[in-house]
Amino acid sequence: MSLEYPTFEELAGQIRAEFRVQLPTIDPTVFGTWAMSLANGNAVLAQAIMFIVRDLEKQMFPQTATDVFLDLWGGYEDLERLDASAAIGSISLDDTTAAVGTTIPALTEFTGSNGIIYRSTAVATITATNQVMSTLTRSGSTATATMASEHALATGMSVVVSGATQPEYNGTFVITVTARDTFTYTITGTPATPATGAPVYDLNMASIPVEAQETGKTTNLSTGAQLSNDTYGTALVQFDGLTGGAAEETDEPYRARIMLSRSTISGVFTPDQVKLAGLSVTGNTRVFVKRATYGAGGGYLDPEPGEVSVFVLRDNDANIIPSAAVIALTKTAIIDDGALPANSAEADVFVQGPSLVASAFTFTALSPDTPTMRTAVENTLIAFFEDTVEFEQTVTEASFLGAIQNTQDLQTGAFITSFTLTAPAADITITDGEIASLGTLTWSI
Amino acid sequence: MQDVLIKPDATGIYDLVIDGADFASAEGFETAIATSLFTDARAPAVQVQEAQDRRGWVGNILYLDNGREIGGLLWILDQARITEDTLNFAKQFAMDCLQWMTDDDVARSVEVIVNQSDTRSVKIYTNVTTVDNTVLRYVTLWRDTDLSRNIS
């Protein structure tokens, strides 16, 4: 059922016809007559009212409501529009400017490379820091140091490595952090790998938790970005980056949450309830809940009864895998809003980002081969991986070939007529904890 | 041309004339001339820079497609001093807004003469030659901003 709204021409026609009945001697269709002006003027007013009625019709249903009306629908579900949020994370400060033992008080302001002010949220002290490496290996001129636990280092810092039997590994190096417990640096020579002895790194540093003083996506900073303070010098962003900054929730994701809530039968820890709780963290765009199975072994990959395993993605962030801080926020939201049942402990709630299986796409032929068509194909693939691809589901060759075949160049209106894809040449196989994503797109034409 | 009859009331404002239970109607161009002269057409950007100041009339939206609107630009001169230039502009605006009469073959020709009447008003003489070669003369007094009225 849909309401039919008359057009301006139809309304003007009706009014003219009525005019003719009432005043038969006057022809209200003659241009320039006052009668025609009267009919047209009234038709415009009538249509203005139609527009209001049409807008009200949209606001009557959550599927089409907008702005404050959508807020009202959210109220029925006890769901509020998510506020804009500020980026949070940790930065590392060495002793280049401030000496060992210097205390950096809470609420100290650092200016980011993006010009935004970040304020520390806890006291930190520059202390002598060292960690024994569990392995130190080499590939070419790149040495990779892996610690037994997470470090608080940031890309761009200088560390002193010592204790390796092979002297080439020892010295002062600028590092690149590649994981929460790993960093790499460049060495000269070709010492034996792995290094022997007891390699250890040393530096004087403080790890400072910070929060942006503004909100929005622009407050996010990637690993290695610089933040400066006149007194304490330049600090660097740790591996996880400063993340979680997002704008106020727009109508579409808010509507999706409202619709999910309306379709969810309230229970205890139902997958949809857990999913809703996960989506209540600003910036989380996709949440997958894994079902438990008996005798699975337990843990986030194979949850057992009583456990719940949740995977989160953030499509609007530079790195769609959530940081540790966002994972912690999401876990809290699930425990608080998801109605944790009596047979589960907080430790039974596992939250993490899925492992991305990036698939490179290589085209050797495309017709019509135009820049706009290439862009259209790229947009089709981005949308395919964001909207169609499911967590832990193998992506069949037929599904991505079909998506590409349906590409329409919105600039010219042309549809794709033929293409040759050399990679991937088969289904994209996905296993536990994984999701397929779009890798590099190459045109070898 | 048969049309609804409108006439200035005691305050000089044009209004419908009621004849019994109906609107009064009249044969002639009096109503059409007043409607065209004093309906605000939307001013082009070269005349009025700010879009929100260009006025216009919503009933014209049906005619935007073929570029023809009822009304003219005399309103632009509401606040103007009466100079030779103003009179020339007034004549041009009046000619433009009555152009439809010859375009639609309602009249054979339309002639407009604009004269200063006193320090605060001008008279717009409209001579319409009908299709049967009868010449009808209309005089419209346009005074100050809102006191426009037909005097013959």
- Which among A9, A35, A41 is the nearest to B3, CB-wise? A35
Q: Per DSSP, what are the bridge partners of residue A171?
A: A161
Q: What is the mean pLDDT of residues B49-59?
A: 87
What is the spatial distance between Cα A27 and Cα A98, in angstroms, rounded to a whole number?
Answer: 90
Q: Chain B contact for A24, CB < 8 A? A: no
Is the per-residue pLDDT at B66 higher than 80? no
Q: Which helix (H) or strand (E) holds A8?
A: helix A8-22
- Which among A8, A26, A41 is the nearest to B25, CB-wise? A26
Q: Which residue do the tokens 């998801």 mark?
A: A338
Is the per-residue pLDDT at B147 higher than 50? no
Estimate the share of chain B in helix, then strand, then coil, as percent rounded to the nearest 5.
30, 35, 40
Q: Is A244 left (phi over 0), alpha (psi -120 to 50) or beta?
A: left
Mutation target vs B (from A9, A33, A47, A50; most B CBs, 10 A cutoff): A33
* B30-38 helix and A34-59 helix, angle to the nearest 10 degrees: 50
- What amino acid is encoded at B87 in this protein? L
- Kindly state the DSSP code that residue A246 receives in the 8-state scheme: B
* pLDDT tier, B152 (very low <50, low <70, confident <90, very high otherwise): very low
Q: What is the pLDDT of residue B95?
A: 95
- Count of helices and strands (H, E) across chain A: 8, 20
Is the per-residue pLDDT at B150 higher than 60? no
Tokens of B42: 């939307």
Task: Calculate ∠ Cα A285-A287-A290, nearest 5°.
Answer: 170
Q: Chain B contact for A40, CB < 8 A? A: yes
Q: How far is B59 from chain A (nearest CA, A)?
A: 4
* Cβ–Cβ below 8 Å for B4 and A40: no
Q: Write out chain A's pLDDT in tens, 445 residues.
A: 568 888 888 898 899 899 888 888 888 888 888 888 888 889 989 999 999 999 999 999 999 999 999 999 999 988 999 999 999 999 999 999 999 999 999 999 999 999 999 999 999 999 999 999 999 999 999 999 999 999 999 999 999 999 999 999 999 999 999 999 999 999 999 999 999 999 999 999 999 999 999 999 899 999 999 999 999 999 999 998 999 888 999 999 999 999 988 887 777 788 888 999 999 988 899 999 988 888 777 777 888 888 889 999 988 887 888 888 889 999 999 988 877 888 888 888 899 889 889 999 999 999 889 999 999 999 999 999 988 888 889 999 999 999 999 899 888 888 999 999 998 999 999 988 899 999 999 998 8
Q: What is the pLDDT of residue B144?
A: 60
- Which among A9, A25, A41 is the nearest to B59, CB-wise? A41
Q: Per DSSP, what are the bridge partners of residue A210?
A: A89, A120
Nearest to A85 by CA among A190, A215, A175: A215
Q: Chain A contact for B102, CB < 8 A? A: no
Residue in chain A closest to B34 (alpha carbons) equals A34
* Cβ–Cβ below 8 Å for B25 and A44: no
What is the spatial distance between Cα A388 and Cα B3, in angstroms, rounded to a whole number?
Answer: 64
What is the spatial distance between Cα A443 and Cα A369, in angstroms, rounded to a whole number?
Answer: 10
DSSP string, A161-226: EEEESSGGG-EEEE-EEEETTEEEEE-SS---SS--EEEEEEEEEEEEEEEESS-SGGG-B-TT-E
- Count of helices and strands (H, E) across chain B: 2, 10
Is the per-residue pLDDT at B63 higher than 90? no
Tokens of A180: 């929460």
Q: How far is B65 from chain A (nearest CA, A)?
A: 12
Residues of chain A contacting residue B58, judged by C-beta atoms under 8 Å apart: 41, 44-45
- Which among B6, B34, B62 is the nearest to A40, CB-wise? B62
Q: How far is B119 from chain A (nearest CA, A)?
A: 31
What is the spatial distance between Cα B135 and Cα A238, in angstroms, rounded to a whole number?
Answer: 91
Tokens of A323: 């940081």
Task: Calculate ∠ Cα B84-B89-B90, nearest 5°.
Answer: 95
Residues of chain A contacting residue B68, judged by C-beta atoms under 8 Å apart: 31
Q: Label residue B78 exposed, middle or buried (CB < 10 Å: 0-12, 13-18, 19+).
A: exposed
* Cβ–Cβ below 8 Å for B60 and A40: yes
* Cβ–Cβ below 8 Å for B23 and A12: no
Tally of residues, chain A: 445
Q: Chain A contact for B57, CB < 8 A? A: yes
Q: Which residue do the tokens 């894994």 mark?
A: A290
Residues of chain A contacting residue B31, judged by C-beta atoms under 8 Å apart: 33-34
What is the spatial distance between Cα B136 and Cα A97, in angstroms, rounded to a whole number?
Answer: 96
Tokens of A116: 């935004």
Residue in chain A closest to B56 (alpha carbons) equals A41
- ipTM at complex level: 0.81
Is the per-residue pLDDT at B146 higher than 70? no
Q: Which helix (H) or strand (E) holds A235?
A: strand A233-237
Residues of chain B contacting residue A35, judged by C-beta atoms under 8 Å apart: 3-4
Estimate the share of chain A in helix, then strand, then coil, as percent rounded to the nearest 5.
30, 30, 40
Domains and CATH numbers, chain B: 6-149 (3.10.450)
Q: Are strands B135-143 and B149-150 parallel, antiparallel or unpaired?
A: antiparallel
**Strand, helix or coil for residue A316:** coil
Tokens of A313: 């993605």
Tokens of A333: 């939201």
Is the per-residue pLDDT at B111 higher than 90? yes
Q: Is the separation of the CB atoms in A113 and A227 below 8 Å?
A: yes
Residues of chain B contacting residue A45, judged by C-beta atoms under 8 Å apart: 58
Q: Which residue do the tokens 């989160």 mark?
A: A312
* B30-38 helix and B84-103 helix, angle to the nearest 10 degrees: 130
- Which among A23, A31, A35 is the nearest to B104, CB-wise? A31
Q: Chain B contact for A9, CB < 8 A? A: yes
Q: Are strands A434-443 and A355-367 parallel, antiparallel or unpaired?
A: parallel
To the question of pTM greater than 0.95 for the whole model, the response is no
What is the spatial distance between Cα B140 and Cα B126, in angstroms, rounded to a whole number?
Answer: 8
* Cβ–Cβ below 8 Å for B25 and A22: no
DSSP string, A375-422: HHHHHHHHHIIIII--TT-PBPHHHHHHHHHT-B-TTT-PBP-EEEEE
Q: What is the pLDDT of residue B126?
A: 93
* Cβ–Cβ below 8 Å for A26 and B60: no
Sign of the C-alpha dihedral computed for residues A72, A75, A76 and A82 taken in this order: positive
* Cβ–Cβ below 8 Å for A27 and B100: no
Q: What is the mean pLDDT of residues B27-37?
A: 88
**Strand, helix or coil for residue A437:** strand
